[in-house]
Chain A
Amino acid sequence: MNKGISTNARVGIFVAVVLLLLFWITFKISSGTIFGRIQGYTLTAEFDNAQGLNTKTGVFIAGIKVGYVEDIKLADDKALVTLRIIPGVKIEDNAKAVIRTKGLLGEKYIEIVPGKQQAAALKPGEQIIFTESPPDLEELMNKLNGIASDVKSVTQSLNDVFGGSKGEKNMRGMFDNLNRTITHMDRLITSTNKNLNRTFDSVNTFAQALKEQGPDILTNLAQISGELHAIIAENKQSVNRTMENINQASERLDKTLANLEVITGNLKEGKGAIGKLLSDKKTEQQVTKAISGLSSMVGGTSRFRTIISYRGEYQFAYHNVKSYLDLRLQPTWDKYYLLGIVDDPGGYSSTSTTYTTVKNVNTGTVQQTETVNNNISNQLKINAEIAKRISYFTFRGGVIESSGGIGVDINAPNDKAQLSVEMFNFNEKPYPELKAMLSISILRYFLLSGGMTDIANRDVRTWFMGVGLKFDDQDLKSIFGLAASTTYVNTK
């Protein structure tokens, strides 16, 4: 019997403790609500997509829980969500209900973005009109994918245009066109200028004439205007129509211009695909990079310099001009190959002795006469040299004027002047041909030179003076419209 009482007590205490715990847990979890049922009011909100929402999903304002989702129903292809809000929490009628996600993959919740404070508070049962459904993650991915492929295709086509040998060709063509256009424009402007000048002249003349014959003209003018007036009066209608037409035309023009303005504006603001592309910082950077890449490509060419020069040397002794046309291929600043043609009016001097045996019939004696022919053939000679530059000295050797030869050039610090000594044609004459020359670059493209050739052979040596032209590839580019760059920096 004693045990019975004790049983009752023990069970009673146990149950009481457990129920207290349960109440406490319930109280804690439902945060001050009774059995999870907030004594609040309900609001509704319509979402396009309530995916991830559940009943009891929290409703938050500024990160503080103010209620929960009480019910989710389908209403006209939209999700009608009933929210229960803690009493005392006011939600303005221009507030916005947004479905958000905790973290990237977290649970969904509803955030109420408060509206303006002055707005009226929603009454129980009313609807939050502004809602925002979460973008579907998959949809988002698809969009990103689309964007990525767009970008890819754009860069691909850019690459097609600018990259590769074809691209290079295109570029060159483009620059070519551009240059030609500029040249044309320049020419046009120049000629227009002439025309303008002429026009001004005419005007001047006219004004002069007017001055002189002013009164007469004025009278005439008055007469004319009178007549005009009459004519206009007569043809008022047609004039009006004309004016209208003009008006319309101008309006149309206006509109077109406006459109243009809009378009360019858009481009500037980055609207539209191209606009976006143009205004995008990244695109800009990439374009810059692409261009710099391009310029380095061009720069590569420029490092490999090609210099063409022509030089004419007036030889005082012979009163003739010896011409040199050289192609200098310079892969690096300290090394070049030179190929050249030399037109030497002196030509090869070849001596041939003709023995003529004349048999005198009368006397029967044989008489032999010796004739020495000194033939000078006007022949083109070739130059083919390898040059290596060390500091201010350039040593070169190879074929000089169709014979073996060596030479050394001494350059002035700024490369504007050069002293050359060369020696070639070791066999033909008593002494090898020795040539010393000083050349000076003038105005970038011009050369002046002077010196003496064939110094060692006293009877044939001569002073000379030369004038020449020299272009490198950059100059050629500008000349032939390959590059209009004005920022070209001449590198060594």
Chain B
Amino acid sequence: MTFRPIAIFEYIGARFTTLLEELGGIFSTFLQSAGLLFVPPFRMRLFLKQMEFVGVESSFIVLLTGAFTGMVFALQTSYAFRLFGAENLIGPSVALSLARELGPVLTGLMVTGRVGSAMAAELGTMKVTEQIDALYTMSINPVQYLITPRVLSSIIMLPMLTILFDFIGIIGSYFMAVFLLGLNGNRFISDTIYMVDLKDIYIGLLKAAVFGAIIAVVGCYKGYFAEKGAEGVGKAATQAVVISSVSILIADYFLTALLF
């Protein structure tokens, strides 16, 4: 087989087309699911179930990550701030970082790993075993039945998990700062409260909501359009995590640029 230089461009073009298709698919999935949110029937039970899955069942992992993130962050910043004698900035900087960035992003990444992959796998399996077709033949809109509750509950639960993350993270940093680094606890709290604005927290929560949408939509999209077989399902789950994580980080940049 002779080497055709044009093949490189064909390859790039094909990849680009695939990427665009994928983005278009993800976006149209989001629009469909969002649009179907306002179309009856409203299946409250499905929302609750997804909320339980996305929120309640993720709370442990989020609390764990949050606590350690706060502690580590307090420890690390203390090294830097001690150089300037600015230990009183440990609390505020931990709190601000958590509220603005680390809370939403790390929560998003944790939930992606746990929930995004699960959604992709679940829907992928349903797709492969024709359960989605079955839903369709039962005259039930699979997007409305499967995707809408997942997206909505993720949008609602991610900010809630972020609140947990922020809170436990600040508590973790407080413990680190007060009990291990010997800072004044009241000072820590008052500095933190002074420096952190509600805006910081609320924008962090807004970010988290966007991340929630990304996690659910990408996970559902990858599962919904999974290829046949167990391999296809596995691939869908992996891709969902990768695409969601990358999208969260990219979205975080733009959200930070836009909102702060």
* Residues of A in contact with B (beta carbons under 8 Å apart): 4, 7-8, 10-11, 14-15, 18-19, 21-22, 25-26, 28-31, 35-36, 56, 58, 65
The answer on a CB contact under 8 Å between A28 and B193 is: yes
CA gap between A191 and B197 in the complex, in Å: 88
- A204 CB to closest chain B CB (Å) equals 86
A–B pairs, 5, beta carbons within 8 Å: A11-B48, A14-B55, A21-B163, A21-B167, A36-B199
Contacts of B226 in A (CB 8 A): none
CA gap between A25 and B45 in the complex, in Å: 30
The answer on a CB contact under 8 Å between A11 and B56 is: yes
The answer, yes or no, to whether B67 is at the interface (CB within 8 Å) is: no
CA gap between A379 and B94 in the complex, in Å: 104
The listed residue (A8, A30, A58, A65) touching B48 by CB distance below 8 A is A8
The listed residue (A7, A29, A58) touching B196 by CB distance below 8 A is A29
Contacts of B194 in A (CB 8 A): 58, 65
The listed residue (B45, B193, B201) touching A31 by CB distance below 8 A is B193
The answer, yes or no, to whether B52 is at the interface (CB within 8 Å) is: yes
The answer on a CB contact under 8 Å between A21 and B164 is: yes
* A-B residue pairs, 7 tightest by C-beta: A18-B160, A36-B198, A11-B51, A14-B56, A7-B52, A10-B56, A7-B48
In B17-76, which residues have CB < 8 Å from any A CB? 45, 48-49, 51-52, 55-56, 59
A30-B198, A58-B194 as given contacts; A18 in contact with B48, CB under 8 Å? no
* Residues of B in contact with A (beta carbons under 8 Å apart): 45, 48-49, 51-52, 55-56, 59, 160-161, 163-164, 166-167, 193-194, 196-199, 201
Main secondary structure of the interface of B (DSSP, over half): helix
- A69 CB to closest chain B CB (Å) equals 12
A10-B56, A11-B56, A29-B197 as given contacts; A4 in contact with B45, CB under 8 Å? yes
The listed residue (B56, B163, B193, B196) touching A22 by CB distance below 8 A is B163
Contacts of B56 in A (CB 8 A): 10-11, 14
CA gap between A14 and B55 in the complex, in Å: 8
The answer on a CB contact under 8 Å between B201 and A7 is: no
The answer on a CB contact under 8 Å between B163 and A18 is: yes
The answer on a CB contact under 8 Å between A29 and B163 is: no
CA gap between A29 and B52 in the complex, in Å: 29
**Which of A10, A31, A56, A65 is the most central at the interface, judged by chain B CB atoms within 10 Å of its CB?**
A10
A4-B45, A10-B56 as given contacts; A29 in contact with B164, CB under 8 Å? no
CA gap between A22 and B194 in the complex, in Å: 17
CA gap between A35 and B198 in the complex, in Å: 8
The listed residue (A25, A28, A30, A35) touching B163 by CB distance below 8 A is A25
CA gap between A21 and B164 in the complex, in Å: 8
- A327 CB to closest chain B CB (Å) equals 69
CA gap between A35 and B201 in the complex, in Å: 12
CA gap between A65 and B191 in the complex, in Å: 12
A4-B45, A25-B167, A56-B197 as given contacts; A15 in contact with B52, CB under 8 Å? no
Extra inter-chain contacts (4) besides given A14-B56, A18-B160, CB under 8 Å? A10-B56, A14-B59, A35-B198, A56-B197
CA gap between A25 and B160 in the complex, in Å: 13
CA gap between A192 and B119 in the complex, in Å: 118
The answer on a CB contact under 8 Å between A29 and B193 is: yes
- B57 CB to closest chain A CB (Å) equals 9
- B126 CB to closest chain A CB (Å) equals 19
The answer on a CB contact under 8 Å between B164 and A18 is: yes
Q: Name the residue of chain B whose CB is nearest to the CB of A10.
A: B56
Contacts of A21 in B (CB 8 A): 163-164, 167
Contacts of A35 in B (CB 8 A): 198
Q: Name the residue of chain A whose CB is nearest to the CB of B89.
A: A106
Contacts of B52 in A (CB 8 A): 7, 10-11, 14
Contacts of B196 in A (CB 8 A): 29
Q: Name the residue of chain A whose CB is nearest to the CB of B86.
A: A103
CA gap between A310 and B215 in the complex, in Å: 113
CA gap between A7 and B45 in the complex, in Å: 9
The answer on a CB contact under 8 Å between A56 and B199 is: yes
- A153 CB to closest chain B CB (Å) equals 37
The answer on a CB contact under 8 Å between B160 and A15 is: yes
Q: Name the residue of chain B whose CB is nearest to the CB of A58.
A: B194
- B71 CB to closest chain A CB (Å) equals 19
The answer on a CB contact under 8 Å between B197 and A7 is: no
CA gap between A365 and B70 in the complex, in Å: 146
The answer on a CB contact under 8 Å between A29 and B198 is: yes
CA gap between A279 and B254 in the complex, in Å: 60
The answer on a CB contact under 8 Å between A25 and B201 is: yes
Contacts of A11 in B (CB 8 A): 48, 51-52, 55-56
Contacts of A30 in B (CB 8 A): 198
